[in-house]
Structure 1
């Protein structure tokens, strides 16, 4: 009598129940991938090589495969939580030891590194102070909380509509404090090299049918004096004259276009700093004065107030001065055979010869999935299906136990023969 078949069946059913139990236990584990026990039959070899009358001697476990199907993605209140939508793994570093994970529940360490609950640090590409990502060897991602340095204003794009119906004035009488000496004006904040704010105000005085003199003040102080002007002494000098054709279009070939404004400051910053005012697109029509575009560059210093992760893995920081800057980029890795990865616990795998070499790139490229910020990927365990599988495995175990019982009864009958 042979008990081999029943014993192998009991062992297989027991392992199947263990895998199902592990799946059920991790049904709430973020990034968990369910396991599935796969079986193979066993046949003893024969001297004749003929299998016509061969009877198998049971079953064996061929492998325990993990199913890397996509889990449901749900919202999170943590901006550092990330979910991978598609193929790929987060590349983690623990003291230089590389591992891979689908669990994107991250936090900041006291040093500013992005790390998992187990302390493994997320890797990617770092960015320089200008937000340019340095693509090369992956490094442990660290959020730079340093203030964003100020940038002095150097260019001011200003597109206006001037009212051709306005009266002609004598620009020699221009006084920024007397609105009767100019036709229109507009102002904008600009910044010196230390980030101090200054108000640049431009004034427009119609001197002829298609000509407008342009004046400016810096924090209320007129820019450009002519000490030889008498009277009055130190009268402001126009920065330049804009001329328009019969169709109301600015004639760019007549200088000075654009205008250069020297900004003198006493804040300890670079002085003067020149601002180029580009009036391209300004027009003169029979309609009210209007500002169609007002875009100076430069900005004051700013502190990091928040950051989020874009779908391509870019970590984008937002600063108190309204600017955004790229701080780094998360990368993903994929494998030719994910089932060849070795599970080391803590929702992590390591590369093996069976998995193949990791192919690492930015999310959304090379067949990799995208990254979603403030999201988590739930376990892909179907709890209902696992409970049904548990019942099936239990019946399977009972049936194999019954074959052993039957074999025992037959053997007992033979022993009792006289």
Structure 2
């Protein structure tokens, strides 16, 4: 009777184990199409009552099986392109972190995000995506995370603070006699010219024209006008009571190899005092801001080929409305404006744990940190230990549906076999109880 009762227990434990295994498989199958879902595996262990004889060897019989643990499988799922810029997929290690409406920090691989009415990046539950702001001036990424939001306000204007000209000056050009003064209205007083748009503090545009004049030898002069008014190049800002007729020019000296030798860095100053004095309207909207900006000609050359401009630019811009946003592979959130300006505003954080299998599942494809999972590690750069973020895509469930269906058949056979062992023991018990 004791033996039969023990065998009933073994068969029952087998039935329970097979049932729990089927539950895990069924849960995986039911979530096979859920974005970011990670499948689980049921792990079983035998139950054994030790009995030792005098020789130290065991002669006990196992008491069946039990569910040891249910572990999560964090292998990579397939990436599916959606085209939605706020759909984010992690290709590699790591989790997104969101602040739940209950005040908890939840980790997830589900990158289905959208904007709420206040511009915050949220998931379907309203949990806010966490990231690190980027300083607009220095480009430095903050060490403190916060709720990420996308502002759709217009970008304010920014005055020109630096301009540059990368140019080749023709070494074969004829020098202009020193006795001939520069006059922007007279083509015979300079060799070449080009122009670019610069901006004041109100975002109003002005045309800066640059005139290049060959002096004796390998020396050139760079003159400039703003909206037709001569301005000084290469001097510190001044505010003359009466501006001299001839504006100052930046001097460029080239070596026999055509490379610039003087000045060493060719970082000139464009002094706008003449422009202010001549028009009565300061370049700075307040009248107290800087009325000068740098002018970089360090990449100028003098070769025996035609005059050509390789690059011409400046850093100012006018006010402009919001045009869109993008999230790059390293998680950088960039906002674009109608004037072509791109501003990096934040970095989406990726988080990882030494033992992610020990994270506590809380549903909705989310997990909570636990002591057993280890310390939270965060990536603020293109760290190879973390994954890359692919915008406009989602990570599919990592459940292999074919493998799960095969496992389901196997679990069904195990359940049937344990049922058969119970049936057999029941038959033996009936035989014993029928003895006369």
Shared fold by TM > 0.5? Answer: yes
**Which residue of 119, 122, 133 maps to 1:126?**
133
In structure 1, the residue matched to 2:237 is none
Q: Distance in 1 between matches of 2:212 and 2:352?
A: 62
In structure 2, the residue matched to 1:24 is 29
| Structure 1 residues 20 and 274: alpha-carbon distance in aligned structure 2, compared to 1, 3 A threshold | same
State whether residues 261 and 277 of structure 1, in contact with CA within 8 Å, keep that contact through their aligned partners in structure 2.
no
**Which residue of 132, 157, 166 maps to 2:164?**
157
**Which residue of 189, 201, 207 maps to 2:197?**
189
Deviates more, 1:387-396 or 1:40-49: 40-49
* TM-score, length-scaled by structure 1: 0.87
Deviates more, 1:335-344 or 1:9-18: 335-344
Q: Distance in 2 between matches of 1:37 and 1:104?
A: 27
| Structure 1 residues 44 and 93: alpha-carbon distance in aligned structure 2, compared to 1, 3 A threshold | same
In structure 2, the residue matched to 1:81 is 87
Q: CA deviation at 1:158?
A: 1.8
State whether residues 131 and 326 of structure 1, in contact with CA within 8 Å, keep that contact through their aligned partners in structure 2.
no
Total equivalences in the alignment: 413
Mapped pair 1:145 → 2:161:
no
Query: What are the ranges of 5 or more consecutive residues in structure 1 without an aligned counterpart?
Result: none
State whether residues 50 and 60 of structure 2, in contact with CA within 8 Å, keep that contact through their aligned partners in structure 1.
no
* TM-score, length-scaled by structure 2: 0.84
| Structure 1 residues 364 and 202: alpha-carbon distance in aligned structure 2, compared to 1, 3 A threshold | closer
**Which residue of 99, 103, 116 maps to 1:93?**
99
Q: Distance in 2 between matches of 1:219 and 1:128?
A: 34
Q: CA deviation at 1:85?
A: 2.2
| Structure 1 residues 10 and 239: alpha-carbon distance in aligned structure 2, compared to 1, 3 A threshold | same
Q: CA deviation at 1:393?
A: 0.7
Mapped pair 1:55 → 2:61:
yes
Q: Distance in 2 between matches of 1:199 and 1:384?
A: 68
State whether residues 326 and 335 of structure 2, in contact with CA within 8 Å, keep that contact through their aligned partners in structure 1.
yes
Mapped pair 1:116 → 2:132:
no
In structure 2, the residue matched to 1:103 is 110
What secondary structure is seen at the aligned counterpart in 2 of 1:199?
A: strand
In structure 2, the residue matched to 1:258 is 268
In structure 1, the residue matched to 2:235 is none
| Structure 1 residues 165 and 46: alpha-carbon distance in aligned structure 2, compared to 1, 3 A threshold | closer
Q: Distance in 2 between matches of 1:4 and 1:339?
A: 31
What secondary structure is seen at the aligned counterpart in 1 of 2:159?
A: coil
Q: Could you say what the CA RMSD is over the residues aligned between the two structures, in angstroms?
A: 3.2
